[in-house]
């Protein structure tokens, strides 16, 4: 049984209340803008009281452990709490393409994905919308939602908010984009990106442990980390892999991704303006293996 179904209705309601209250002086993510989103103010993520959703539907392009036979039920939240210069979805993440959904509408989207047979509800870029997600979840649970939640984040999450998700989120899927704070800030706009992501990933692993799959090979619980290899080792892959192997677990399921291409504002940065080579990708995997990580994907 998924975590949120084991939780009492009173406890879930208390988590919703605490999360919504955080919007008043917003510290819902690690940007800590301290704007009053309940009063209509907007901070770095340009999102007010309601979540903006660009689309939802079964998705077959995610990791096999999430997709299974009927797909991962993705919900794409617009307006990211990072501003990656090379973002491949910048119309959604930076331009806010989508529409505001009430808690009831978001709950119905979750239920629709479950009815379509999706193996999970995959919350894409959820960090700035945790209160709205919890409000919707509270309603959806009463209507029978029972598939695992996947928290599919850029990794810039606030610890107090992650603690509110303990026992609710079964599968955490953070990126660790950069293994260096300075480089991370240059390309994401987020201060101390690596430091924050490390704390967040450790907290996620403390809550759910290494990735577990069922008899069909579909993820039921645990941590799945994504790392995008960047040209010229801009992502500082060795630091990321060392951290995972030593401070999280050598059994961490890591997707080492090769699909970087220059998008959005990447053309302004000569070092971001090419794809990676096959050799760079091989080296990144080799580094991960040398660090002792043995659950590499693909
Ligand atoms: S969610 Fe994060 S980025 Fe958005 S206003 Fe709150 S602290 Fe700022």
Distance CA 28, CA 131 (A): 8
Q: Look at residues 166, 158, 108 and name the one whose alpha carbon lies nearest to residue 129.
A: 158
In the CATH hierarchy, which fold is given to the domain comprising 3-297? TIM Barrel (3.20.20)
pLDDT of 166 reads 98
CA of 270 to the centre of ligand 1 (A): 30
Residues present in the chain in total: 298
CB neighbourhood size of 46 (10 A)? 15
User: Does the beta carbon of 159 lie inside 6 Å of ligand 1?
Assistant: no
User: Does the beta carbon of 45 lie inside 6 Å of ligand 1?
Assistant: yes
Give 10-residue mean pLDDT values along the chain (298 residues): 97 98 98 98 98 98 97 98 95 93 98 98 98 98 98 98 98 98 97 98 98 98 98 98 98 98 95 98 98 98
CA angle 278, 234, 191 (to 5 degrees): 150
CA of 201 to the centre of ligand 1 (A): 19
Q: Which two tokens stand for residue 211?
A: 């990735």
pLDDT of 161 reads 98
CA of 38 to the centre of ligand 1 (A): 12
**SS3 letters for 82-115?**
CCCCCCCCHHHHCCCCCEEECHHHHHHHHHHHHH
pTM for the model: 0.98
Q: Are 121 and 110 in contact (CB under 8 A)?
A: yes
The b-or-e profile of 16-40 (16+ CB within 10 A means b, else e) is beebbebbeebbbbbbebebbbbee
CA of 265 to the centre of ligand 1 (A): 22
Q: Locate the domains of the chain by residue range.
A: 3-297
pLDDT of 199 reads 98
pLDDT of 201 reads 99
Closest C-alpha residue for ligand 1 atom 4: 45
Closest C-alpha residue for ligand 1 atom 7: 32
Residues sharing a CB contact under 8 Å with residue 3, sequence separation 6 or more, in sequence order? 167, 168, 169, 170
pLDDT of 31 reads 98
Closest C-alpha residue for ligand 1 atom 1: 128
CA angle 18, 19, 24 (to 5 degrees): 95
List the beta bridge partners of residue 221.
212
Alpha helices in the chain (DSSP H): 3-6, 9-21, 64-67, 90-93, 103-115, 130-142, 159-164, 181-188, 193-208, 237-243, 278-291
Q: Look at residues 296, 201, 203, 209 and name the one whose alpha carbon lies nearest to residue 255.
A: 296
pLDDT of 207 reads 98
pLDDT of 254 reads 98
**Average pLDDT over the chain, rounded to an integer:** 97
User: Does the beta carbon of 28 lie inside 6 Å of ligand 1?
Assistant: yes
Q: At what angle do helices 193-208 and 181-188 cross, to 10 degrees?
A: 100
pLDDT tens, residue by residue, 171-230: 999 999 999 999 999 999 999 999 999 999 999 999 999 999 999 999 999 999 999 999
Distance CA 47, CA 131 (A): 12
Q: Are 137 and 4 in contact (CB under 8 A)?
A: yes
pLDDT of 295 reads 98
User: Does the beta carbon of 128 lie inside 6 Å of ligand 1?
Assistant: yes
Q: Are 116 and 69 in contact (CB under 8 A)?
A: no
Closest C-alpha residue for ligand 1 atom 6: 26
Q: Are 5 and 147 in contact (CB under 8 A)?
A: no
Residues sharing a CB contact under 8 Å with residue 29, sequence separation 6 or more, in sequence order? 45, 81, 127, 128, 156, 157, 158, 161
């Amino acid at each position: 049984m998924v975590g949120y179904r084991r939780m009492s209705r009173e406890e879930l309601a208390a988590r919703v209340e605490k999360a919504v209250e955080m919007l008043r002086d917003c510290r819902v993510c690690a940007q800590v803008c301290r704007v009053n989103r309940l009063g209509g103010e907007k901070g770095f993520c340009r999102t007010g009281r309601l979540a903006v959703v660009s689309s939802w539907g079964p998705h077959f392009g995610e990791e096999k452990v999430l997709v299974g036979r009927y797909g991962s039920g993705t919900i794409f939240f617009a307006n990211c709490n990072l501003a990656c210069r090379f973002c491949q979805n910048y119309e959604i993440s930076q331009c806010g393409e989508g529409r505001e959904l009430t808690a009831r509408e978001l709950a119905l989207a979750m239920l629709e994905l479950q009815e379509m047979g999706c193996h999970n509800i995959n919350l894409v870029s959820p960090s700035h919308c945790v209160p709205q997600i919890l409000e919707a979840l509270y309603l959806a649970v009463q209507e029978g939602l029972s598939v695992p939640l996947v928290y599919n984040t850029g990794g810039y999450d606030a610890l107090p908010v992650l603690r509110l998700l303990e026992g609710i989120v079964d599968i955490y899927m953070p990126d660790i984009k950069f293994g260096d704070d300075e480089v991370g800030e240059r390309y994401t706009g987020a201060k101390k990106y690596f430091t924050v992501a490390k704390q967040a990933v450790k907290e996620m692993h403390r809550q759910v442990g290494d990735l577990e799959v069922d008899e069909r090979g579909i993820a039921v619980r645990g941590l799945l980390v994504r790392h995008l290899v960047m040209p010229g080792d801009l992502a500082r892959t060795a630091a990321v892999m060392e951290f995972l192997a030593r401070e999280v677990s050598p059994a961490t399921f890591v997707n080492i991704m090769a699909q970087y291409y220059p998008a959005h504002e990447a053309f302004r940065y000569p070092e971001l303006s090419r794809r990676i080579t096959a050799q760079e990708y091989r080296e990144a995997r080799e580094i991960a293996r040398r660090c002792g990580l043995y659950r590499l994907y693909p």
